[in-house]
Structure 1
Amino acid sequence: MSEGLTEPTRASSADSGSAGAGAAAAAGRAVPRERFVAGDDSTAIRIDGTALAAAVKDDLRVRVDALKARGIVPGLGTILVGANPGSLSYVAGKHRDCAEVGIESIRLDLPDTASEDEIRAAIESMNANPAVTAFIIQLPLPVGIDPTAMLELMDPAKDADGLHPVNLGELVLAVPGGKGSIDTPLPCTPRGIVEMLRAYDIPIAGRHVTIIGQGLTVGRPLGLLLTRLEATATLTHSRTVDVAAEVRRADIVVAAAGVAGLVEPDWVAPGAAVIDVGITRVLNEETGRYRLRGDVDPAVASVAGFQSPVPGGVGPMTRAMLLKNVVEAAERR
């Protein structure tokens, strides 16, 4: 069962934050509680994804050592097609993360001229390789290759990203293990967001969550996951009549639109928790250099109760959840 992600009952307090904070404490790390921005105007506590991810990795090292003592060596496989600089960097980062916690790396790189049959063969190779506990297909794929069709070829039990249709379906349907338990890989970013909220004792059950964006990797699966955790989730998108009004109603806001500075202070209810998933490269005309900006205006920290930064927020936790999915897949063997 995916640790800490059972649906709470009315008689329990599974959304109380104990799962995330407990993991940090077990790893010997206190959850940092610093202001988002130094200064009198900042009311928000910074949700430090970098520190939380480090605590997750500390815990995973112990679990990987225990697996190896039983003769089980977790391995992450990656399939990369082409030489997209962003994809190359992303895959390399995943394998560096694996090395940090003792997970083996199995990498298959194909040229951008690879045919659909060659990509299918790579997927079948990963499915059959006993050294591969779980793997990912790095997106985007070349034009003309249907990513959904490729994802469907994966063994759902080896789906490190939690995006196989079978695994996404488990967020909707009854699953083995009893009401609310989730025994399959979870999408990494939604899972990381839930753990961030719990680590900072931000209640989920009974709260209203507004999600900006309905993409496959964040918005849609996050809405399903939060609903299972007894939140009321509202997904907004480009056709939503008044996104700001939906955000103002929310106890928790998750911005995943990919529009720099979209969420402004007057959108946010005082004390709300704001999770910033967006990453946009913005040119500084004075220096000629690019910097990363999130979907949330930093000035929101003068209104919000909690806010995650970009970078250093959701990104590190997404990568940590990928590792966690691999380790849990090994533990299920």
Structure 2
Amino acid sequence: MIQLTSTFVSRSLVPTISPRLRLRPRSVVPMTICMNQSRMEKVVVIMGATGTGKSRLSVDLATRFSGEIINSDKMQFYDGLEITTNQISISERCGVPHHLLGELPHDDDELTASKFKSLASQDISEIVSRGKLPIIAGGSNTFIHALLVDRFEPETHPFSDKGSISSDLRYDCCFLWVDVSVPVLFHHLSKRVDQMMESGMLEELAGFYNPRNSGSKTKTGIHKAIGVPEFDRYFEVYPPGKNEKMSEWDPVRKAAYEEAVKEIKENTWLLAKKQIDRIIKLRSSGWEIHRLDATASFGKSSREVWDKTVLDESIKIVKRFLLTD
């Protein structure tokens, strides 16, 4: 544990809060107090395309800087599809408290950027009040923008042609961008989808499937998660059943399954490209984002390479950031 200032003294980690308890109404803090305090609050923000290791780095840093993590992946706010949304497991969290992760019921209305800003802002204040370091981690850059900019305009999409991105931020931020070269990331994401299917993603989606919702053209909330619409179309033809073995499927059904998996891979890659484009746009708009090249760690002996090329550099950056007034 690195002890830097009196603000971030070493304390025992706070137990993870029960998701159901977190759904209770939160206390109201006067806006004037929030505005004055937020100027002084230091926040680490971990960005990157899906599958690049944001969750991994957030835990690595949280265990070294007495931090707590706030999820900013809009699909991971909901419960019920842990494999499909690729939520970090309990064991991988290493005892670090996570906020806004799997807290909303899967049938909840869509979480807006404004609502996320409200919830995450209060989490930041509470984390700082405990002497801990808030770490934002996730790939939803529209939500990150809404939380951090000094003047958030909910009616305007910041990454649209008519949108604008401000470099005036509400917090003192340290931005870390975990980046991976395109060929390596493309291969990794394809392989990751296969691993997710082998880990029970098909069964998870089958249990989530509801024929009444599958025909809807307008998807909201977790129903927009990559994997749900692709397999909704598959389940419309091949409804989930009991004791079905893939080895007993006929060629037509196997082809339909493979097509759904292919679509998931393609849509995952499109998401990754969009996330990278938006990070580049934030960077070009004045956000001081430190790029960390994690390409070499996506291979053999990845832990050792990860520590050398990503973690060690991140620790140096965060340490300098926390020591700066």
TM-score (norm 1): 0.29
TM-score (norm 2): 0.29
The structure where helix makes up a greater share of residues is 2
